[in-house]
Structure 1
């Protein structure tokens, strides 16, 4: 993660990104048993019909893990107040929410620098996600509209 932060330093505030990552690392681990997860709930894998989630695609073999790993849509899709409504509807504790923040951060920070030149659409999505994660965590540091300097 720290390597990805360094590789993205020309696109964001690296100190604020590090603070966001460290916040997620402080979250308590999953208290119960692992459960079936999707593992890649990014916008391209969400099927939306009439403004509502209708399904998920890109489902391979069943994966078992921390269900917080599937919370990425909170930051990849939603702005406030929808993000808070999503959280309330799921009834998650603070630790799960922070672990979800870490999973969303991991996907976004890796994609930001990796796809900067080869897939600008994905890079812009990663920048928006990072801006939401960092703003939501009171660690705002992405500059400019859409988060990319």
Structure 2
């Protein structure tokens, strides 16, 4: 998985030009650069807003998914999500849609100690219970989320060969064992697609928001439940699972697929440790947890 190249740079001048043209009432608010991630450049706007600009064509489609579907999903979810408050259009050389979303006064769960995250595991469970309901036929397609985890075997093995992790053989063997669980045969359910701890925001020891719905799709919710290993330790994972199972009645096969997804995602997160050390740390934790059970 090569690191994607930024195709369009978004500096303060471009951000202000787009705001002035399309949302002039916001154009004079202070702008503070937050960072540029895998998909988006982010600028804080005033005290309560955030600008999200896709920096490559593939990410532009993810922004469109958020703009179309977060307003539909938000009312049913028990946790705040970044519903766009304004939508931006291509202009002044910027070729894609962009968004103005709420700014959440919080930190990512990835920056907090693992043993402190269990306090909000039931709240995340409630989020999944509310989200994992049948999706409409026009829900976004996603070739790498929500599908059969067994199809991830080849990319997993390729990444293991590239990374040369010390536990590579154990990871490969355990993945194959877990991915052999019966496939999902239920209806296509809404799936967040990427609820790892860098996309979970925490404030005062509680789950404040779930962000980054660019991978939102429909299918098998096991890929979302993988965060039980990526985010938590064993006691917190047990609490999350108990609450989800009580509401949804998932079988053992669901959790075996979820654990396989956890291994796949944990390895992928370690592909670029220099650029994204926080994701690499999540990946190492995820491998440790998924191999321990």
Q: Shorter-normalised TM-score: what interval?
A: 0.7 to 0.9
Matches of 2:162 and 2:255, distance apart in 1: 26
Matches of 1:24 and 1:8, distance apart in 2: 21
* Residue segments in structure 1 that go unaligned for 5+ positions in a row: 137-149
Equivalent in 174, 189, 214 of residue 20 of structure 1: 174
* Residue segments in structure 2 that go unaligned for 5+ positions in a row: 1-155
Aligned-residue offset at 1:81:
1.0
**1:3-82 superposed matches below 5 A:** 3-9=158-164, 11-60=165-214, 62-82=216-236
> Which of the two has greater strand per residue?
2
Matches of 1:33 and 1:121, distance apart in 2: 34
Deviation digits for residues 22-51 of structure 1, max 9, x if unmatched?
122111111211101100001111122443
Matches of 1:80 and 1:61, distance apart in 2: 27
Equivalent in the alignment of 1:118: 275
Equivalent in 128, 152, 157 of residue 2 of structure 1: 157
Corresponding residue pairs, total:
134
Aligned-residue offset at 1:61:
7.2
Aligned-residue offset at 1:62:
4.6
Matches of 1:62 and 1:16, distance apart in 2: 31
Structure 2 residue 271 is matched with structure 1 residue 107: no
> Which of the two has greater helix per residue?
1
Matches of 1:40 and 1:129, distance apart in 2: 14
Equivalent in the alignment of 1:128: 285
**Which structure has the bigger radius of gyration?**
2
Instruction: Provide TM-score, normalisation by structure 2.
Output: 0.43
**Secondary structure of 2:209's aligned partner:** strand
Instruction: Provide TM-score, normalisation by structure 1.
Output: 0.81
Which has the higher relative contact order, 1 or 2, with Cα contacts under 8 A spaced 6 or more apart?
A: 1
